[in-house]
Amino acid sequence: MDYIYDGSFEGLLTAIFEAYYRKQHPDRILPGRNHQRDIFSEVEEISTDFEKFERVYNSIRTKISHESLIKLYYTYLSELPDAGTMIHEYLRLGFKVGRKIDFYLSDDRVLQVENVSRKVSGERHRMLGLLRFHCLKSGVFYGPIEPDFNIAALLAPHFAERLPDQNWVIHDVKRCIGVFYNTTDNQWMVSDFDTNQYNLMKEDSVYQELWKQFFASIAIKNRINPKLQKQHMPIRYWRYLVEKG
């Protein structure tokens, strides 16, 4: 049996709620975009219910731990095809053993979530140092990214604290979503976003050139290590790095 949800975290936890209270063990819990029907699978489409979502959300936080809730959310943000199934299997164990679940790393259900969430957390940490903002004609600072995982919203709290007096946008080009921050109410939000109509202001090219010169001037030629650089700053991120332009 496959449970199909709408792709949101709320929808996923609703599906897990339904599995528990129906006393069913679906083979897979998948977002609609990843599901391909076949003649062998029974399909159950689950409608998102925010009350049921909150019950599961609060149960994870109180009966297991806040740390586990974060790991599960990061696993969801990985967008792996089987992320929902992994989270469901983790919770089946977690609701039995509670806070002790962190000691079950020899269990594949726990180890999978641990490994995936660590990768997502690692990319978030890496992107905090690799994101570059450009000033648009409107005065808004625009930062394009193409991360492996859906981490744009995870970056927002850091930049809301570091740039509270600037209007800015973090644009996930791959997923066509943006995180928007404005100084009027000092809040950020996530929304669909397309920047085909945006142009960088001319003055920005001056600052980009200054940044390139600074980057070149502080480099110690005898210590340049391209192999090590690629380990800490993989080539797939270079497209939006001013200093690599």
Give the Cβ contact number of residue 101 at 10 Å. 23
* pLDDT at position 81: 92
Stronger pLDDT, 106 or 219, i.e. the higher one: 106
Question: Whole-angstrom Cα distance, residue 164 to residue 185?
Answer: 10
Question: Is 243 a residue whose pLDDT tops 90?
Answer: no
Q: Which of 210, 178, 202 is nearest to 191 (CA)?
A: 178
Q: Distance between the two ends of the chain, CA-based, in angstroms?
A: 50
pLDDT tens per residue across span 37-59: 666 778 899 999 999 999 999 99
Q: Is the separation of the CB atoms in 142 and 167 below 8 Å?
A: no
Stronger pLDDT, 39 or 27, i.e. the higher one: 27
Question: Whole-angstrom Cα distance, residue 118 to residue 20?
Answer: 27
Q: Which of 193, 235, 190, 194 is nearest to 77 (CA)?
A: 190
Amino acid residing at 97: V
On whether the pTM is more than 0.75, the answer is yes
| 228: CB partners within 8 A, 6+ apart | none
pLDDT tens per residue across span 67-109: 999 999 999 999 999 999 999 999 999 999 999 998 999 999 9
For 80, half-sphere exposure in the C-beta direction (CA atoms, 13 angstrom radius) is 20
